[in-house]
Structure 1
Amino acid sequence: MIRLLGIAILSTCLAGSALAQEATCKAKATEKKLAGAALTSFTKKCEKDAAAACDAQAASKKLAGAAKNSFVKKCTSDAVGS
């Protein structure tokens, strides 16, 4: 019984954290129904903001060199949604 309760709590926490993640730039643009110049402008700003946030995360993790570049590239790609 306790084992089942523990599993239920763990699965609830995992599901909650997945839902709490922020939407990607592409998802946000689709939600706002952007097109043309507005889409381009929004995407560029979103990518720039994502890169800055990822760079800050890399700094807080004290990454440098190739590890930092790889982390920032993947983090930005995930945030943009490509």
Structure 2
Amino acid sequence: MAKLIPLYKVKASIGEAAFEKLLHDFPGGKIYIKKGFLDIESRNRAILADYDSGVSRLELAQEYGLSLSTIDNITHRRAKS
């Protein structure tokens, strides 16, 4: 189960202006921040850089310990954006 963090702690962590923007942009919503999110984003950027430099899908999957379908998902997500 996700750990709920009291809003006053969020406000203290991110500051008044960012907290107000968060409340304005996501009223009544729930926000889930996956543990390790920044690590995954960093890994995905490294995969894309390697892919762009010519590393094959199979080599990427082996190097990063991922399936070919996960490598494809990462590269296709970027292509869509």
Question: TM-score surpassing 0.5?
Answer: no
- What TM-score do the two structures reach when normalised by structure 1? 0.30
* Bigger RCO (CA 8 Å, 6+ sep): 1
- What TM-score do the two structures reach when normalised by structure 2? 0.30
